[in-house]
Amino acid sequence: MSADAAPAGGSGAGEGADEGTVQLTVKWSGQELPVRLLATDTVADLRDALCLQTRVLPARQKLLNLKVGGRPAPDSAELGALALKPGAKIMMMGSPEEAIAAANEVPEGAGAVMDDFFDEEGEVPVHLRPEYIAKVERRVRDYKVEIKNPLREGKRLLVLDIDYTLFDHRSVADCGAQLMRPYLHEFLTSAYRDYDIVIWSATSMRWIDEKMKLLGVSKHPDYKIAFHLDNLAMITVHTEHYGVTECKPLGVIWGKFPDTSPRNTIMFDDVRHNFLMNRQSGLRIKAFRQAHQNRDKDVELLLLARYLRSIAQLDDFSTLRHRDWERYLEKHPPPDP
């Protein structure tokens, strides 16, 4: 249930929606906000997506023109069941709450405290909350994964973000290679020996495909990508520390591919809250920004390739503390490639 400004193709509820999705335009405060969701997402999920864009808390949102049987649609109603017309537009009323205006990205240079997750006293941890477990189960059931290359027996699983992890998507350049993180192809080639590779980005599938082509990843002869996941596979959660935010629940992959689990999966992302549903499996990579200045300095992928080789033979990744990967690497250098 991600808000996504990129256009989508196909047919369905709302103009330009893919099969199994709903694309709406929400008019609010003089703006028109595009929102793309799964057809099985609910009105409550729509409220969460709008909260991410507008900072208007779900409880303070008044949604007009969203009805079932002539009455306002309840939060439990699935969007696909609302008989929305093509090009549907709805109106939202509500004022933003500055108290939840915290930025999604953790600031650069944040101290150690920002690197920790804190469960609020007396609260159930995010990954154990029934409402979020139910969202993940719905993604497992309804999100469609297009397999590009089958998972290989006995391989570990590496899940990679794109923006600021593999690619500086904000700088300007003449070609994608100038914005690509140094040693990307060497890193992926090394990782592919022991890991199946999945790309998961908080953008639309169209842009993921375009970026992978731009970077020369899609058809590289030395490695293969198993599949891509886009923003529709993410879920929205609320924590006291981060406010309303999206995250990437690896349970979606584990539910669809029974041979994958916390025991053999690791995910790299530069945004730590993306690990909220699977803390133990996440490794926060340094963000790659200002590509033109850092292209000759950044060796993060070379070092992380060595870490992946070092842990590849372990039976259980869930015993590792990935935030200490550099220390682990010093004590456990990998075998020669």
CATH 3.30.930.10 fits 21-100, yes or no: no
pTM listed for this prediction:
0.79
DSSP characters for 82-149? S-PPTT-EEEEE----GGG---SSPPTT--GGGGS--PPTTPPPGGG-HHHHHHHHHHHHHPPP--SS
Fold agreement between 21-100 and 112-331: no
* Residue pLDDT tens, the chain, 337 long: 444 433 333 333 433 446 688 888 999 988 999 999 999 999 999 999 998 888 888 888 999 888 888 888 999 999 988 888 767 899 999 888 654 444 444 444 444 333 445 454 456 788 889 999 999 999 999 999 999 999 999 999 999 999 999 999 888 877 778 889 999 999 999 999 999 999 999 999 999 999 999 999 999 999 999 999 999 999 999 888 888 899 999 999 999 999 999 999 999 999 999 999 999 999 999 999 988 888 788 999 999 999 999 999 999 999 999 999 999 999 999 987 6
Q: Which CATH class is domain 112-331?
A: alpha beta
Domain extent listing, the chain? 21-100, 112-331
Whether the Cβ atoms of residue 315 and residue 197 lie closer than 8 Å to each other: no
For residue 77, the Cα-to-chain-centroid distance in whole angstroms is 25
CA dihedral 315, 318, 320, 321 (to 10 degrees): 170
